[in-house]
Structure formats: C-alpha cells, structure tokens
Structure 1
Amino acid sequence: MTSWAARARVWQVGLVLGLVGVCGAGATARADTTLINASSNINQEMFQEYNAAFTRYWRGKTGEAVTIKQTHAQSTNQVARIRNGEEADVVTLAVSLDIDTIAAAGLMPSDWQGRLANHSSPFTSTVVFLVRRGNPRQIKDWNDLVRWGINVVTSNPKSSGIARWGHLAAYGYALKQPGGNDASAKLFLKRLYGNNRVLEYTARGANNAFTKNKIGDVMITWESEALQLVAAAPDDYEIVVPSVSIVAEPPVALVDKMVEKRGTRKLADAYLNYLYSPEAQELLVKYYYRPADAAIAEKYSKRFKPLSLFRVDEVFGSWQQAFKTHFSDGGVLDQVYDPYRNAS
C-alpha cells in the first residue's frame, strides 16, 4: 500500500470512529429526558420532594437520567394554559373537573379517571377548620361559622379548587341537618359567606391572610394544609374537625396528545404510577395527605381523625353537575355571595 493510500485509510478509520463517538454521545443525551408536570399551587413543596424520589427510582430502574420540570398555578389557570398549547406531560390538579376540561379539548380521553386506581387520586384530603391556639371563639362545627361576629377566611371558589371543596362540604353539611334541603343549604351558605369580608383569589392567599396578616377567627382549608401549619407553629394554631365533611380527591392524569408529541408516554406513565408505590405513599403522609394504600393508611390512622365523609357524586351527582349548579355564572355561589356587601 502506498503512503498516501495508507494515510487515506487511517483518515477513513478515524472518521468512522469519530462518527461512532458522536452517535454514542447523542444516544446518551437522548436518554436524559425532561418530563413536565403542571400542578396546583398548594402541592409545590410536596412534588419537589416527590420529583427527587422519582428521578432516583427511574435512574436505578433504567439507568436513565430524567429532569422534572414543575409548573405551579391555580388549577383553573393551568387548564387554560394547557388548552392554549402550553406543554405538560402530566397534570396534578385539585379538582377532576379541571382535567375533564382538558379532556374536552381533545387532549386526552374522557374516561381518563378510570386509568389509575382510586379515581386517579393517589391521595385524598378533607376540609377542616384552622383556628387560633386555644380556640378563643369556641368553634366546634360548621354551624359556629355562621354565628354573628365570626370572621371566616377562605378563597374564592370561582378561582380556587380548594375553595370549591370547602363550599361543597358546607352545603353538604347543611343538607344533612334535620329538615335540610336546597333552600336551607343556600341560606346556610349565605350566612357563611356573609361572615367573610374578602374571598382571596388563591388558597395560598387565604393562608397568608390568616397566618401572616392575622386576619380572621377561622380558616376553611384542606386537612393536609392545616396539619402542616400546626406542625410548623403548634403554639399558634389548632385544628377543629367538623362533624361532616367531604372527601377531597386531587386527581392526576397523563396528557395523551402531549406525551405522543414529546415521546414521553412511558416515562409519564411511570411517574404517575409511582405515586401509588409504598415509598411515595409514605412521602405523601409526610405532607399530611391520606394515602390510597390501605396498609399505610392503617399505619398512620392516629394522625387522621375519623369523621363522617361524603363524596361529591353521592350528594351532587358529579363534579360536572356540581360546577354547573354551584360555580357557573348565576349559580348558587353567585346567589349567596354579594361581594359588594361583604366588602363594605
């Protein structure tokens, strides 16, 4: 072989090896996938810790690195963004109706809630009251929230998923009283909202009003949020568990059109299913959610006080019907809450 031919051969081998190296590097880069979770504000800290646990699990199982991009906003805002084209592989929101709205836009099937256990809710909560330490206003049940002079703090059901749960819990309580009917339940809500000066736009806004600005005698909120606040400041707050409340079921779902576009279906499926794993269920309890796993729920049964609970479909038929009746324009909320009178 002539010297120039030998040099050409060496150059060709080097080029092939270089291309192999580039392709190998590209394969490694493609394994480092990004998953996008559009979540509600209230779960920001919890999902930050869950994301770290899932990335460890995924690397151990597959050897692949994954980056979780987390976005947080009110559930209704997240829905609007996704319907307008913002990317999200999975959604972890406050109310199933919000995900139904995404499904109605053709981004996932309408029967999405049946794809995971427990109505696609890997954890639940309920509605309780947070009061000042010592309970100076002696609040014991829902009927105490409509007493004259009691200042109630909550967020606006028009914009806050947690507030919708609270509204329906109060309405359900009134219906279950002796002689309770829709007329008496509306009157009860009218008196309840009459004890609220301003409906905060977000659940975090209500939280800040009660805890940081020291507004109000009692805050209506999720049990998980109330337990976290008491754990952080046991000398300042305590929890009152009402006689009747609602099962709050925060749902999770995969956005089919988006995972097909981004090639993340397998990863997104694993991300949601891992929420039901023993490790994740233990983490959810850390943030004071009631776990879906029966064995873990029994393990922590002393943490969550027993109370009479009802589901949305048992009292209101469905979330779609509850929204139409209570939160649409002209619905029950508009009938019982006068923002001008309350602000005066």
Structure 2
Amino acid sequence: MLTRRAFLPLALAATFAAPGAVFAQQAQPGPNSILNVSYDIGRELFTAENAEFVPFWKQKTGQELTVNQSHAGSSRQARAILEGLEADVVTFNQVLDVDVLAKAGYVAKDWQKKFPNNASPYYSFPAFLVRDGNPKNIKDWNDLVRDDVKVIFPNPKTSGNARYTYLAAYAYALEQNKGDTAKADAFVKKLLANVPVFDTGGRGATTTFVERETGDVLVTFEAETRAIEGLYKDKKLKTIVPSVSLLAEFPVAVVDKVVDKRGSRPAATAYLEFLYSPAGQTVAAKAFHRVVDKNVEAQFKDQFPPVRLVTVEDVFGGWDKANAEQFASGGKLDQVFGAR
C-alpha cells in the first residue's frame, strides 16, 4: 500500500514500453542479484526502474535477477563503498563522489566516457518548495536570506543534494554582485544561518519540512519538489523555480572492483545502459527528472517549465576546482559554515 512516508509519486505505477536500445553485449547470467548504491532521494525512482529492468533482463537472458538498493547521502555512500559495501553500480547525484571511487581504484578513471552524456542519464536542479499560498512570498534566492525566512536543506558536508544548493546560491550571489566573492561569501553564510536543522540527506530534509512542518521553504531537486506536491495534495505545497539555478547531473558508474570479483559486470552494465533506453528515460521523466532522450523529453515538455541553468564548469571552473576551493578541509564551506 502506498503511504505518504514512502514518498512514491503515483504516476510511477504506469506501465512503460519495452526499451528500444540495443545493448552493446549479449549478457551472460552471473550472480542472481546486483546492488545499486544510490543517493538519498532516489528510492522511488530506482524502484520504478527496477520494475522495468528485471522483466527486460529475464526476457533477454532467462535469468531471474534481483536489484537491491541502498540509499543515503551521496558522499556517505561513497565512503561506505570504500569501507566495504559491495556495490555493483553507483547512481549518485554528484560527480565528486564517483571521482572519490575512481581515485581509489573502484571505478574506471575514465568512467564519464563509459556511458552517454558524461555518464549522466538525466538531470535536475535546486528548486524551492513552499507552503500553501506561499505566505512568505518566496520567489528567488535573495528571499532565502531574509531574517523572517527559515530554510530547510541537508548538510553540505554529507549530502550532494545540499552541495548543489550551496553552489547554486553562491552562483546567484556572484551574479547579483558582479563577481564580488566577499559579498557572495556573506550571502551563503546568511543562507546557512537560516537553516534551523541540518539533516544528513535530502530525504531527511524533506521529512523535516513536510511531516515535521519545520521551516518556510525546502530547497531540493526539482524532481523531489514536484513529486511531493503530488503526494501531499491536501497540503497545497507549491514548487517555485528560481530565476537561475545550477545544473545537477546524476552520474552513474559500474564499480569495477566489485563486478570483476562477483562476475556481475554483464548485468551491472546492462542496468545502467537501461537508464538511457526509452523505457528507462520514461520512468525518469514520470518521476519528474529532466531526461536526455529528445523523444521522451518532448512527450513530457508540458510538465517542465523553462529554467536558466548555470554549470559548475562555467561558474566554478569544474568539479575538481570547486572541491578544492569550496568543499575541501579549510575551504570556503568551512569558512562560512564552520566544521560540523
């Protein structure tokens, strides 16, 4: 039975067409299960993807495959793999967390070349979810630093979701202040000060805002805000798309160190390839993610308003530079946020 706590968008129950993609290699059955280690708010998306992939795999190979899931803050998940969690695939929400695995030899150094679109099958961006009637009249990032507004998003130390929020706010502040970094620093410091509680991941922040009714606005991926709108119709929550936001990619990779040990590479590779197929892209679009398949994108264009997106590469010089300057120990985040 569907419950509110499950945060399952009702639209995900639809049946989708079989994928049109032709996978690169005829898969041979290996272990009868694989583990997808993923970000915190990806539970429902991958439950729906699994429901489409498993029968496809059965038809293709004759194998009954179980796709197990693990969800938590993206950075926490990367650390868990380094500590022994045997993920066959990762489906994260931040490039940095896959890079951590690549540097440790778990994932190929050129992992972004293994799948299309820099190994990101869909995308989103930080958006706002406000309460019935938008009583605080929240429209853009500048409203989030007002003294009368309490903002909910997770801890940037543990959540890729929150790091996108932090970088999107910083990019907005830089633009508004003509590149003045001191003013941008002050902006994000005030934003962080307006957060009454920092959950470790995006789903915890959603629970704090929606079920505990804490705060005036939730900042999370647009896919999450739109799913919650539909699930909590009686609360009349509303998504606000800011004037500018930051492109949020959702990188995927096969964990070579694990699949070579388990013999699960065929299923693991096919699973990630499936996310790019028309069936996999349709699942993602129904879960309010913006997809890269142009035909599927066109089918869902009415549910996605236009938005101006900037990128980590354009504003911060790429993820490596952003990590060194913003998120590394002693970096900008530590300076404005403090060690927590």
* Length-normalised TM-score, structure 2: 0.88
Summarize the alignment of residues 141-220 of structure 1 with structure 2, pairs less than 5 Å apart.
141-220=140-219
Name 2:333's counterpart in structure 1.
333
Structure-2 separation of matches of 1:233 and 1:276: 30
Q: CA deviation at 1:43?
A: 0.5
Name 1:315's counterpart in structure 2.
315
Structure-2 separation of matches of 1:139 and 1:77: 31
Structure-2 separation of matches of 1:41 and 1:102: 18
Name 2:290's counterpart in structure 1.
290
Q: CA deviation at 1:325?
A: 1.4
Q: CA deviation at 1:66?
A: 1.3
Identity %: 44
Structure-2 separation of matches of 1:199 and 1:70: 24
Q: CA deviation at 1:108?
A: 2.2
Mapped contact 2:154–2:204 kept (Cα < 8 A): yes
Name 1:16's counterpart in structure 2.
none
Count of aligned pairs between the two proteins:
311
Name 2:259's counterpart in structure 1.
259
Structure-2 separation of matches of 1:320 and 1:337: 20
Structure-2 separation of matches of 1:219 and 1:70: 26
Name 1:25's counterpart in structure 2.
none
Name 1:110's counterpart in structure 2.
109
Name 2:46's counterpart in structure 1.
47
Structure-2 separation of matches of 1:154 and 1:31: 40
Mapped contact 2:31–2:262 kept (Cα < 8 A): no
SS at match of 1:276: coil
Q: CA deviation at 1:31?
A: 5.8
Mapped contact 2:39–2:93 kept (Cα < 8 A): yes
Name 1:130's counterpart in structure 2.
129
Q: CA deviation at 1:88?
A: 1.3
Name 1:221's counterpart in structure 2.
220
> Per-residue displacement from partner, 1:177-206 (whole Å, max 9, x unpaired)?
252321121111112112222222221221
Q: Which amino acid aligns with 1:317?
A: G
1:244 aligns with 2:244: yes
Structure-1 separation of matches of 2:153 and 2:69: 26
Structure 1 residues 32 and 338: CA distance shift in structure 2, 3 A:
closer
The structure with the largest helix share of the pair is 1
Structure 1 residues 338 and 90: CA distance shift in structure 2, 3 A:
closer
Structure-2 separation of matches of 1:45 and 1:103: 27
Structure-2 separation of matches of 1:212 and 1:41: 17
> Per-residue displacement from partner, 1:150-172 (whole Å, max 9, x unpaired)?
11111110001100010000011
Structure-2 separation of matches of 1:153 and 1:107: 34
Name 1:27's counterpart in structure 2.
none
SS at match of 1:70: strand
Structure-2 separation of matches of 1:179 and 1:83: 41
Q: CA deviation at 1:40?
A: 1.6
Q: CA deviation at 1:251?
A: 0.8
Runs of 4+ in 1 over 3 A off after TM superposition: none
Mapped contact 1:32–1:64 kept (Cα < 8 A): no
RMSD: 1.6
SS at match of 1:243: coil
Structure-2 separation of matches of 1:118 and 1:306: 20
Greater relative CO (CA pairs within 8 A, separation 6+): 2
Q: Which amino acid aligns with 1:257?
A: K
Structure-1 separation of matches of 2:262 and 2:30: 13
Q: Which amino acid aligns with 2:329?
A: D
> Per-residue displacement from partner, 1:82-139 (whole Å, max 9, x unpaired)?
1123211111111111011011111222110111111111110111111001101001
Task: Flag structure 1 segments of 5+ consecutive residues without an equivalent.
Answer: 1-29
> Per-residue displacement from partner, 1:290-325 (whole Å, max 9, x unpaired)?
111111112211211111101111111121221221
Higher Rg? 1
Structure-1 separation of matches of 2:200 and 2:266: 36
Mapped contact 1:40–1:92 kept (Cα < 8 A): yes
* Length-normalised TM-score, structure 1: 0.87
More moved, 220-229 vs 68-77: 68-77
Mapped contact 2:173–2:187 kept (Cα < 8 A): yes
Name 2:90's counterpart in structure 1.
91
SS at match of 1:37: strand
Structure 1 residues 262 and 198: CA distance shift in structure 2, 3 A:
same
Task: Flag structure 2 segments of 5+ consecutive residues without an equivalent.
Answer: 1-28
Structure-2 separation of matches of 1:337 and 1:89: 35
Name 2:63's counterpart in structure 1.
64
Q: Which amino acid aligns with 2:222?
A: E
Name 2:12's counterpart in structure 1.
none
More moved, 156-165 vs 185-194: 185-194
Q: Which amino acid aligns with 2:118?
A: H
Q: CA deviation at 1:267?
A: 1.4
Structure-2 separation of matches of 1:198 and 1:176: 28
Structure-2 separation of matches of 1:163 and 1:92: 17
Structure-1 separation of matches of 2:42 and 2:85: 20
Mapped contact 1:95–1:250 kept (Cα < 8 A): yes
Q: Which amino acid aligns with 2:283?
A: L
